[in-house]
Amino acid sequence: MAYSDKVIDHYENPRNVGSFGNDEKNVGTGMVGAPACGDVMKLQIKVNDDGVIEDARFKTYGCGSAIASSSLLTEWVRGKTLDQAMAIKNTDIAEELALPPVKIHCSVLAEDAIRAAISDYQNKADK
Amino acid sequence: MVKLPIYLDYAATTPVDPRVAEKMMACLTTAGVFGNPASRSHSFGWQADEAVALARQQVADLVNADPKEIVWTSGATESDNLAIKGVAHFYQKKGRHIITCKTEHKAVLDTCRQLEREGFDVSYMDPEPNGLIDLDKLAATMRDDTVLVSIMHVNNEVGVIQDIAAIGELTRSRGILFHVDAAQSAGKVPIDLETLKVDLMSFSGHKIYGPKGIGALYVQRKPRVRIEAQMHGGGHERGMRSGTLATHQIVGMGEAFRIAREEMTEENARILQLRNRLWNSLKDIEEVYLNGDLEHRVAGNLNVSFNYVEGESLVMALKNLAVSSGSACTSASLEPSYVLRALGRNDELAHSSIRFSIGRFSTAEEIDYTIEAVRNSIGKLRELSPLWEMYKDGIDLDSVQWAAH
């Protein structure tokens, strides 16, 4: 299958790969997907006192489109408030990367990942 | 400098050997043997008929059969369909039970599914974890109404070689017919149909450096095996498969089988050396698993799972290599290789598998390039993999509650 140039770019030069320390307080982590399905995304956000995402990291086990979707997401969420990040839609990701129909689930997974990361951050902040 | 991309997917198809292409081209134009082999009234037909007869002899020679036992088809898929449906339909008054294995090619499995819809009963056996059939379990699966056992010789994904000699003894002693899909084994493993107790055997042209769109079915004459035709028409191939014979395709397949017979021993030794070179340089990578038995395995196949790396992304990283992955992220179901699942591999390992298949035109330089590319890509993708990170942190992935999607 032919991938778009943007998918290939993100795949070959993934942005913001890595993990934050486990005990960093202002970090939210979202882990979505399942190895059995062939993709697992881990997305982490670091949120400052103004509620703005100042940094993001990802690791993804999955196909090129899954890796590109999560890499793109880390670029997009930086500098956004939690509400703004929450508003990112899978269709925006799919459109930006020109994902074919069989790969739409990768963008859905990326949307799930940012929501899971935000929710994890909020749970921690509430405690 | 090695020429890119490198073709390592010989189990999917092979290029036509130049010697084969030359013979084929002599069967197309006015200057060549273009006649209809069924034309009895002129020399054009007689010449084509002679060319077909020679090819039939060449195919029969590779497997030590009688040319009268070779029926031309459009490929191994049609041969499998003709053998299985042909036997099932012809012998249905005798019994309606068929035995096959879960790791068979779809051409066998889907044909059996169709027969189930027609009211036949099919047992799909589990292979052992090394991919081989346990003979005792096969014997226990046989019933009084079993009419056919269909087991492939060499598996297309993992390359394991079934003991068809022993299976044949078992089926013959029980009066059950035995069909073998030999698409992946002809020209790679010695086959002697004189001694093997095999009743039907499917062959493909394009898996052994012949053209696509041509295959054959061996239908044993002594003891005689009957099949009901699936394609009706002019009564070609003694009524078993009608349709004008494709002289150029047939001649190509014949030449390919002739070359295989003459060069197989030497070629196998060379390919095995390349395969060992590849495996010996990959097996020391952490968390690498060989799929299928190493000893009972065709020379050109290496199927490996690189744990915590998803197969499709690995194929993408290996963009200069033409290889296959057992991961099927593109399909709607997201189901990984059913063959690896049947071998008992978990979903992660099945999703992480790559099949390298080496062939006639593979070189040592290509293998060395492959080794380097795989080692680099595995390192890079594991850096990206949350599963690898968890594994390294000592987390048991089976204990994690995953949200299946």
Amino acid identity at B265: T
pLDDT higher for B365 or A37? B365
B316 close to A (CB below 8 A): yes
Mean pLDDT for B350-368 is: 96
Residue B329: active-site member? yes
Measured between CA atoms, the residue of chain A closest to residue B332 is A102
Mean pLDDT for B198-202 is: 98
Other CB atoms within a 10 A radius of the CB of residue A85 amount to: 22
CB of A122 closer than 8 Å to CB of A96:
no
Contacts of B329 in chain A (CB under 8 A): 38-39, 62-63, 66, 103
Measured between CA atoms, the residue of chain A closest to residue B313 is A63
Residue among B333, B185, B332, B334 nearest B268 (CA): B185
SS3 per residue for A96-127: HHCCCHHHHHHHHHHHHHHHHHHHHHHHHHHC
Other CB atoms within a 10 A radius of the CB of residue A100 amount to: 15
Percentage above 90 pLDDT, chain B: 92
Contacts 24+ apart (CB under 8 A), B329-335: B329/A38, B329/A39, B329/A62, B329/A63, B329/A66, B329/A103, B330/A1, B330/A63, B330/A102, B330/A103, B331/A102, B332/A102, B334/A37, B334/A38, B334/A105
B386 close to A (CB below 8 A): yes
Contacts of B316 in chain A (CB under 8 A): 3, 11, 63-64
Element (H, E) at B6: strand B6-7
Measured between CA atoms, the residue of chain B closest to residue A66 is B313
DSSP per-residue codes, B299-356: TTEEEEEETTS-HHHHHHHTTTEE-EES--TTSTT----HHHHHTT--HHHHHTEEEE
Burial category of B396 from C-beta neighbours within 10 Å (exposed 0-12, middle 13-18, buried 19 and up):
exposed
> How far apart are the C-alpha atoms of B126 and B137, rounded to whole Å?
9
Contacts of B318 in chain A (CB under 8 A): none
CB of B333 closer than 8 Å to CB of B341:
no
Contacts of A62 in chain B (CB under 8 A): 310, 312-313, 329
Inspect the interface and report whether the beta carbons of B384 and A40 lie closer than 8 Å. Answer: no
B323 phi/psi in degrees, rounded to 5: -130, 170
- Indicate the residue of A34, A37, A64 with minimum beta-carbon distance to B312: A64
Pairing of strands B215-219, A53-61: unpaired
User: In this model, does residue B397 exceed pLDDT 80?
Assistant: yes
| Half-sphere exposure in the Cβ direction for B137 (13 Å, CA) | 11
Helical residues (DSSP H) of B142-200, grouped into ranges: 164-173
User: In this model, does residue B184 exceed pLDDT 80?
Assistant: yes
B396 phi/psi in degrees, rounded to 5: -80, 110
ipTM, 2 decimals?
Answer: 0.94
> How far apart are the C-alpha atoms of B247 and A45, rounded to whole Å?
66
Distances (CA, A) of A46 to A20, A49, A117, A120, B284: 8, 10, 10, 11, 38
CB of B292 closer than 8 Å to CB of B160:
yes
Contacts of A109 in chain B (CB under 8 A): 405
Say if residue A100 is preceded by a cis peptide, omega within 30 of 0. no
Mean pLDDT for B154-161 is: 97
Q: Which of B27, B101, B112, B329 is catalytic?
A: B329
Element (H, E) at B99: strand B97-101
> What was the pLDDT predicted at B322?
95
Amino acid identity at A100: P
User: In this model, does residue B404 exceed pLDDT 70?
Assistant: no
The SS3 call for residue B278 is: helix
A17 close to B (CB below 8 A): yes
B196 phi/psi in degrees, rounded to 5: -70, 140
> What was the pLDDT predicted at B329?
52
Percentage above 90 pLDDT, chain A: 80
Task: Work out the pLDDT band at B331, boundaries 50, 70, 90.
Answer: very low
User: In this model, does residue B328 exceed pLDDT 70?
Assistant: no
Contacts of A42 in chain B (CB under 8 A): 386, 389
pLDDT tens digits along A85-116: 999 999 999 999 999 888 898 999 999 999 99
Inspect the interface and report whether the beta carbons of B404 and A38 lie closer than 8 Å. Answer: no
Distances (CA, A) of B98 to A89, B92, B101, B135, B175: 51, 11, 10, 16, 13
Contacts of B327 in chain A (CB under 8 A): 38, 63
Measured between CA atoms, the residue of chain A closest to residue B404 is A34
Element (H, E) at B286: none
Task: Work out the pLDDT band at A20, boundaries 50, 70, 90.
Answer: very high
User: In this model, does residue B101 exceed pLDDT 90?
Assistant: yes
> Which tokens belong to B279?
């495996």
Mean pLDDT for B250-273 is: 98
> How far apart are the C-alpha atoms of B405 and B392, rounded to whole Å?
25
To the nearest whole angstrom, how far is the Cα of B351 from the nearest Cα of chain A? 6
Measured between CA atoms, the residue of chain B closest to residue A43 is B386
How close are the terminal C-alpha atoms of chain B, in Å? 45
> Which tokens belong to B179?
């069909």
Residue among B190, B113, B122, B195 nearest B154 (CA): B190
| Cross-strand bridge partners of residue A31 | A42
Chain mean pLDDT for chain A: 92
> How far apart are the C-alpha atoms of B97 and B169, rounded to whole Å?
19
> What was the pLDDT predicted at B332?
46
- Indicate the residue of B310, B332, B347 with minimum beta-carbon distance to A63: B310
Mean pLDDT for B23-45 is: 97
Cβ-Cβ contacts under 8 Å for B100 (sequence gap 6 or more): B108, B109, B112, B122, B123, B124, B125, B149, B150, B151
- Indicate the residue of B310, B330, B397 with minimum beta-carbon distance to A102: B330
Interface A:B, Cβ pairs < 8 A: 96
Measured between CA atoms, the residue of chain B closest to residue A8 is B316
The catalytic residue positions of A are: 37, 106
> How far apart are the C-alpha atoms of B84 and B99, rounded to whole Å?
11
CB of A44 closer than 8 Å to CB of A28:
yes
| Half-sphere exposure in the Cβ direction for B352 (13 Å, CA) | 27
Say if residue B223 is preceded by a cis peptide, omega within 30 of 0. yes
Give residues 22 to 61 of A whose Cβ lies within 8 Å of B.
31-42, 59-61
Which of A29-43, B43-57, B337-351: highest mean pLDDT? B43-57
Chain mean pLDDT for chain B: 95
Chain A interface mutation, best of B287, B310, B337, highest count of A Cβ atoms under 10 Å: B310
* CA-derived radius of gyration, chain A: 14
Inspect the interface and report whether the beta carbons of A32 and B403 lie closer than 8 Å. Answer: yes
Give residues 130 to 149 of B whose Cβ lies within 8 Å of A.
none
Flag the least confident range among A3-7, B9-13, B263-267.
A3-7
- Indicate the residue of B328, B331, B402 with minimum beta-carbon distance to A34: B402
